């Protein structure tokens, strides 16, 4: 994913259609959106995929709790996610739903392919099953009181016929792949975690559930009494959306042999640390089994907690991104989540931190834009002066290179911090140059031109740097600077800053007395069930 890359296929996890979007889902999606926008700006051909995970026991149970059919629940919840992403200007190219016919056909073709290649067999399975996590756990993995080690929910002892994928046969290949591609899993801590996991012999993976126990799934093509395990179904979404597989075509022409005409392999899977094993072990071994190329990279980010507590509906501390948006605007929420969490690490939502980050937007960026544009308006009749505007060129250079390095290294928070630093520097430049004093002195008019030109040029650069995080506000900033749209970084570098017709407007990041209360009220009260 270099800035010169021709294409970038980026994916988020597909979110369970059993709960409302919260800031955890929003974070992964914002991160993917920021990277997608960054790559588009750099001229790449981008495909950005998100969607909803709609099969399995979790959905079936939630639907019956709400007295809805599973399909009706999924329709409703897929709509909720789509609505949320629209509100937050998420620029996805494809929203996949695993109940789509196209996806079902690809899943069936995929498992048939594994079977044809001899990687699937039937056997009895007995083990500890967590409905909540929709997976079996080994005795050793179980937490206190026989609870699942992820959510601490009860597990059940289950014995049944299952179809198995010979995952164990691909353990060595996977280990070799990770060794040979040290950047494959980012950050390194997560790579080490996977390597640790792979030190023990891999067990084979149960890929089916008997229909007698679970109706809501995709029937296996070779045994209609079993549905596909929801994680296998879900992971294949990345392939479905890549348009690599043509299920209707005769055997040998279904696209498994050559994916080069499609979006597969993905350039980057963005996931949370909770779903690392499924993405870095199950998924690549399944792909190896099918003879398909592996995704190029996996980014596993940390968790949003509230204070120091895990977010959960039953605890009543789920942070609602929509409530924050209503008060602060979509970009402020994007900014907070992207700027606050160092990629890969955990971060904590607190109303105080949210407000601090908002203040940063208002006082540093908003203030810079407003004073620069007002002065251009007042001293130069709203047209930026022609002439030298290179007062901050050295800082711009440094910022651009720090920003690009950080983005390429997937450290979006650092890229944004570099951009905000440039805005801070520009505010310092205003203090130093004292344009109000320059304006009063007839001898210093060319100096004033240079000050104003430099500020305009810096704002143009900032609009391009901050577009991936704040598409709405940066589009507005570009408009106020008299530009037809936000320039790409390359274009921005070439804009001198002179001759722009600026437009004063209301603050980009307004403030009011209700903000503190709103940041606290976004932490929702207790609800009936845990989210996730
Ligand atoms: N449906 C599966 C994923 C299948 S992908 C083939 C799933 N869905 S989920 O609705 O639980 O959302 C998973 C993703 O949401 C996590 O991987 C993570 O990206 C994000 N988050 C959910 N809660 C989170 C936090 N509290 N903090 C940060 N992100 C978390 O798992």
pLDDT tens, position by position, 370-407: 999 999 999 999 999 999 999 999 999 999 999 999 99
Distance of CA 125 from the midpoint of ligand 1 (Å): 28
Q: At what angle do helices 70-87 and 57-65 cross, to 10 degrees?
A: 100
Closest ligand 1 atom, residue 15 Cα:
10
Residue nearest (by alpha carbon) to ligand 1 atom 23: 24
- The residue to mutate among 11, 14, 28, having the most atoms of ligand 1 within 8 angstroms of its beta carbon, is 28
CA–CA separation, 476 and 485 (whole Å): 9
Closest ligand 1 atom, residue 53 Cα:
1
Residues contacting 225, CB < 8 A, separation 6+ = 210, 211, 212, 219
Question: CB–CB of 342/411 below 8 Å?
Answer: yes
**429-448: average pLDDT:** 98
Buried b (16+ CB within 10 A) or exposed e, 376-413: beebbeeebbeeebebbeebbeebbebbbebbeebbbb
Query: What's the CA dihedral at 289, 295, 297, 300 to 10 degrees?
Result: -70
Distance of CA 26 from the midpoint of ligand 1 (Å): 10
Question: CB–CB of 49/94 below 8 Å?
Answer: yes
Cβ count within 10 A of residue 314: 12
**161-174: average pLDDT:** 97
What is the per-residue pLDDT across 199-219, written as a single tens digit (0 to 9) for each?
A: 999 999 999 999 988 999 999
CA–CA separation, 479 and 459 (whole Å): 11
Closest ligand 1 atom, residue 19 Cα:
10
Distance of CA 369 from the midpoint of ligand 1 (Å): 37
Helices and strands counted in the chain (H then E) = 21, 16
pLDDT of residue 526: 62
Closest ligand 1 atom, residue 305 Cα:
26
Which residue in 345, 199, 210 sits closest to 281, CA to CA?
199
Distance of CA 271 from the midpoint of ligand 1 (Å): 7
CA–CA separation, 165 and 189 (whole Å): 28
User: Rounded to the nearest 5 degrees, what angle is found at the Cα of 237, between the Cα atoms of 234 and 240?
Assistant: 150
- The residue to mutate among 15, 287, 336, 523, having the most atoms of ligand 1 within 8 angstroms of its beta carbon, is 15
- The residue to mutate among 22, 26, 27, having the most atoms of ligand 1 within 8 angstroms of its beta carbon, is 27
**145-154: average pLDDT:** 87
Residue nearest (by alpha carbon) to ligand 1 atom 30: 24
Distance of CA 16 from the midpoint of ligand 1 (Å): 8
Residue nearest (by alpha carbon) to ligand 1 atom 11: 532
Distance of CA 76 from the midpoint of ligand 1 (Å): 19
| Tokens encoding 83 | 């609505």
Cβ < 6 Å from ligand 1: which residues? 13-16, 24-25, 27-28, 53, 234-235, 237, 271-272, 274-275, 303-304, 311, 532
What is the per-residue pLDDT across 506-530, written as a single tens digit (0 to 9) for each?
A: 999 999 989 999 999 999 866 544 3
| Tokens encoding 418 | 């570099």
| Tokens encoding 367 | 């203030």
What is the per-residue pLDDT across 273-304, written as a single tens digit (0 to 9) for each?
A: 999 999 999 999 999 999 999 999 999 999 99
DSSP string, 140-182: GG-BTTTB-TTT--B-EEEEEEEEEE-GGGGHHHHHHHHHH-T
Is the pLDDT at 168 greater than 60? The verdict is yes
CA–CA separation, 310 and 387 (whole Å): 55
Q: Is 13 helix (H, G, I), strand (E, B) or coil?
A: strand
CA–CA separation, 76 and 22 (whole Å): 16
**66-89: average pLDDT:** 98
What is the per-residue pLDDT across 327-356, written as a single tens digit (0 to 9) for each?
A: 999 999 999 999 999 999 999 999 999 999
Pairing of strands 7-16, 45-53: parallel
Q: 262 preceded by cis ω (within 30°)?
A: no
- The residue to mutate among 10, 99, 110, 272, having the most atoms of ligand 1 within 8 angstroms of its beta carbon, is 272
Instruction: Name the residue with tokens 């019956």.
Output: 64
**Residue 34 — φ and ψ, nearest 5°?**
-60, -45
CA–CA separation, 345 and 433 (whole Å): 40
Instruction: Give the predicted TM-score (pTM) of the model.
Output: 0.94
Which residue in 350, 311, 352, 355 sits closest to 332, CA to CA?
355
Distance of CA 25 from the midpoint of ligand 1 (Å): 6
Distance of CA 72 from the midpoint of ligand 1 (Å): 22
Distance of CA 195 from the midpoint of ligand 1 (Å): 22
Residue nearest (by alpha carbon) to ligand 1 atom 24: 24
Closest ligand 1 atom, residue 270 Cα:
19
Q: How far is CA 248 from the centre of its chain?
A: 32
Residue nearest (by alpha carbon) to ligand 1 atom 6: 235
Residue 432 burial (10 A CB sphere; 0-12, 13-18, 19+): exposed
Pairing of strands 156-165, 120-130: antiparallel
Distance of CA 169 from the midpoint of ligand 1 (Å): 28
**8-20: average pLDDT:** 96
- Calculate the alpha carbon distances from 71 to 54, 115, 216, 230 in Å: 8, 29, 9, 15
Distance of CA 387 from the midpoint of ligand 1 (Å): 51
**Residue 143's pLDDT band (cuts 50, 70, 90):** confident
- Helical spans, DSSP H, in 329-444: 330-340, 351-360, 367-380, 393-408, 412-433, 435-440
Q: 187 preceded by cis ω (within 30°)?
A: yes
**457-475: average pLDDT:** 98
CA–CA separation, 441 and 421 (whole Å): 30
């Amino acid at each position: 994913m270099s800035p010169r890359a021709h294409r970038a296929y980026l994916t988020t996890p597909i979110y369970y259609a059993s709960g409302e979007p919260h800031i955890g889902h929003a974070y992964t999606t914002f991160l993917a959106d920021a990277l997608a926008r960054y790559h588009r700006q750099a001229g790449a051909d981008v495909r950005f995929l998100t969607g909803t995970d709609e099969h399995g026991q979790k959905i079936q149970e939630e639907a019956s709790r709400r007295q809805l059919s599973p399909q009706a629940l999924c329709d409703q919840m897929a709509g909720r996610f789509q609505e949320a992403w629209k509100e937050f200007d998420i620029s996805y190219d494809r929203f996949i739903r695993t109940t789509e016919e196209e996806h079902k056909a690809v899943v069936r073709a995929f498992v048939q392919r594994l079977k044809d290649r001899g990687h699937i067999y039937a056997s009895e399975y007995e083990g500890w099953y967590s409905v909540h996590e929709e997976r079996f756990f080994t005795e050793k993995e179980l937490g206190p009181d026989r609870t699942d080690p992820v959510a601490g929910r009860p597990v059940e002892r289950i014995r049944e016929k299952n179809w198995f994928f010979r995952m164990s046969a691909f353990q060595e290949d996977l280990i070799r792949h990770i060794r040979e591609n040290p950047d494959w899993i980012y950050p390194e801590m997560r790579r080490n975690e996977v390597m640790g996991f792979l030190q023990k012999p891999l067990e084979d993976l149960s890929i089916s559930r008997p229909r007698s126990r679970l109706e809501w799934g995709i029937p296996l093509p070779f045994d209609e009494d079993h549905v596909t395990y929801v994680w296998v179904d879900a992971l294949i979404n990345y392939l479905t959306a890549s348009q690599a597989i043509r299920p209707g075509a005769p055997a040998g022409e279904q696209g498994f042999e050559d994916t080069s005409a499609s979006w597969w392999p993905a350039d980057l899977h963005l996931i949370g640390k909770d779903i690392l094993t499924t993405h870095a072990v199950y998924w690549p071994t399944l792909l190896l089994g099918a003879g398909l190329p592996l995704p190029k990279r996996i980014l596993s980010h940390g968790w949003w907690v509230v204070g120091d507590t895990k977010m959960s509906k039953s605890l009543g501390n789920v942070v609602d991104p929509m409530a924050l948006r209503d008060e602060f605007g979509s970009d402020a929420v994007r900014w907070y989540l992207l700027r606050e969490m160092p990629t890969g690490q955990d971060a904590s939502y607190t109303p105080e931190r949210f407000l601090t980050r908002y203040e940063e937007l208002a006082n540093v960026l908003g203030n810079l834009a407003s004073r620069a544009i007002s002065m251009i308006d007042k001293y130069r009749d709203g047209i930026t002066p022609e002439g030298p505007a290179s007062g901050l060129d050295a800082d711009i250079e440094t910022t651009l290179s720090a920003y690009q390095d950080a983005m390429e290294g997937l450290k979006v928070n650092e890229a944004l911090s570099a951009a905000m630093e440039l805005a801070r520097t520009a505010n310092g430049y205003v203090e130093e140059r004292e344009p109000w004093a320059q304006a009063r002195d007839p001898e210093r008019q060319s100096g004033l031109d240079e000050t104003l030109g430099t500020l305009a040029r810096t704002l143009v650069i900032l609009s391009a740097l901050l577009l991936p995080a704040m598409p709405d506000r940066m589009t507005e900033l570009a408009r106020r600077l008299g530009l037809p749209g936000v320039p790409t970084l390359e274009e921005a570098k070439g804009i001198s800053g002179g001759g722009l017709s600026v437009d004063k407007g209301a603050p980009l990041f307004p403030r009011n007395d209700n903000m503190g209360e709103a940041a606290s009220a976004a932490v929702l009260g207790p609800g009936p069930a845990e989210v996730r």
